[in-house]
A and B are shown apart, each in its own frame.
Chain A
Amino acid sequence: MKITVTGGKGGTGKSTVAVALASALAKDKKVLLIDADVDCPGDDLLLGIKLEKLADVENMIPVFDFKKCLKCGKCAQFCPEHAIVFVKGENPIFIADQCIGCRACRIVCPAGAISEAKQIIGEIFTAKNGNLVVLSGKMKPGIEESSLVVNAMKKNIKEQEKNFDYIIIDTAAGTHCPVIAALLGSECALAVTEPTPLGAHDLDLILTLTKKLKIKTQVVLNRSDIGVENIIQKVVKNHQTKIIAKIPYSQEIEKKYCAGIPIEHKAIEKIIQWIKK
């Protein structure tokens, strides 16, 4: 069973909930925790574990053979990302960081002057802690398409999926490409939010997204006692879902967070009850 932990706004406690949930489930089940916040992963820090490198994530980039190049400019014309700059009479100039690896240039080149090479756009790390296996993706800074690393991670575990009882996926903040890539294929999702107008605004966005993706989503309200809960209730009601668990603000939780110890709270137990149903 795949459960994605997301939320829209940053810093609401997505990783805290994902890590606590994975650790609690791993007491008697086999659990895989995927840190899909590949721009700024941090689940390893919250678990207090050390990751080891598993693989590089590679992307196709074109290699130009200027001896064959007709200087026609077709590659630049068809490049959807403007990663190829062409000036009449000159060799095309390639900007690797802009390239998304779609191969359009290679396909349209009439002279066969473009071949393929690979560039490393990210890395995948792993760690094992009893019943819990962690997989963490890390994007190379400056690369744009973080969803490529998320997808590479999902591909990497495709064959091992059946070895786990639960797969918990921790997403980045926001509601777009890398978050969508993480959500696709999940049975259900948890949206972690906070009782502030900003939390409510972004919760509305993420619940709109999960509705479009047809993924059943429940809400976890973090720092539930410091803020205005009714604005969250309004959004939750509009989307016909529920606040499944509340985590109050507490120094004890904060201390654990800083020490890299997963929190234990009755809110996490409530989430587990829902998942097991």
Chain B
Amino acid sequence: MKTITILSGKGGVGKSTISASLAVLLSQENRIVTADCDVDAANLALLFGIKKLEKSQKISTNLKAFVNKNAKDCKKIVDNCAFSAISWDKKKQLPKINKFLCEGCGVCLILCPEGVTLKKVKNASIGEGQTKYGFSIISGQVESGKCRERKSWENSA
């Protein structure tokens, strides 16, 4: 089996277009499968005329930290967050976690085991579809506002 990756630094130059054409041509004499690893904005399926993928499975590639009221003595987690995702809520006298910035690294949990929980979040999905050209497509998509795209494509690949 050969794996061919289509890539480029710049956007909009025709990566998906070339991928789709190559796939259709190769499929005439070979058994092939295509994978859309542009999980930020996956749209290779659209080029095969597929609007919605049939099988879609939610996956989790990311953890997020959540604080509870026991975190009131854990002001230190604010300065120890390498991603500036934690601030101090003066009103509530509790740390506050910005869910868009949290990387789920777990440092706050290590420093404040009573006040922080780390939960898996369903942040992505992997879909599968059958093209009219006789081969299938696997496509990964990270939900908007969620990070960890690398791990999502590792899963879809």
B: residues with CB less than 8 A from A are: 9-13, 16, 38, 40-41, 43, 46-47, 63, 80, 82-84, 100-101, 103-107, 110-111, 142, 144-150
Residue A248 CB within 8 A of the other chain: no
- Find out whether the CB atom of A176 lies under 8 angstroms from the CB atom of B104: no
Closest beta carbon of chain A to B11's beta carbon, Å: 1
Q: Is the CB of B105 within 8 A of A80?
A: yes
> In the bound complex, what is the Cα–Cα distance between A184 and B110 (angstroms)?
27
How many Å from the CB of A252 to the closest CB on chain B?
20
List 6 contacting pairs A-B, 8 Å CB cutoff, sorted by A: A9-B11, A11-B10, A80-B105, A102-B103, A107-B110, A197-B43
A149 to chain B, nearest CB (A): 13
Binding site for B on A (CB under 8 A): 8-12, 39-40, 42, 60, 78, 80-81, 100-104, 107-108, 144, 147, 151, 173-177, 179-181, 184, 194, 197-198, 201-202, 205-206, 208-209, 212-213
CB distance from B34 to the nearest CB of A (A): 16
Q: How far is the CB of B101 from chain A (nearest CB, A)?
A: 8
**Smallest beta-carbon distance A206→chain B, Å:** 8
Inter-subunit contact A209/B145 (CB<8 Å): yes
Residues of B within 8 A of A201 (CB): 41, 43, 46
A37–B52 CA distance with the chains assembled, in angstroms: 30
Could you tell me the distance in whole angstroms from the C-beta of A141 to the nearest C-beta in chain B? 10
Alpha-carbon gap, A102 to B10, bound state (A): 30
Sample of 10 more A-B contacts, CB < 8 Å, known A101-B82, A213-B100: A78-B110, A80-B63, A81-B105, A100-B103, A100-B105, A107-B80, A175-B41, A177-B147, A180-B145, A206-B144
Bound-state CA distance A39–B148 (Å) is 16
Q: A151 — which chain B residues lie within 8 A by C-beta?
A: 83-84
B40 touching A175, Cβ below 8 Å: yes
Kindly list chain B residues whose C-beta atoms are within 8 Å of the C-beta of A179.
40
CB distance from A104 to the nearest CB of B (A): 5
Question: CA separation between A108 and B107, bound complex, in Å?
Answer: 9
CA distance A81 to B62 in the complex (A): 11
Q: Please give, as numbers and ranges, the residues of chain B lying within 8 Å of A9 by CB-CB distance.
A: 11-12, 41, 43
Chain A hits for B100, CB < 8 A: 180, 184, 213
Which residues of A lie under 8 Å from residue B149 when comparing CB positions? Answer: 174, 176-177
CB distance from A24 to the nearest CB of B (A): 23
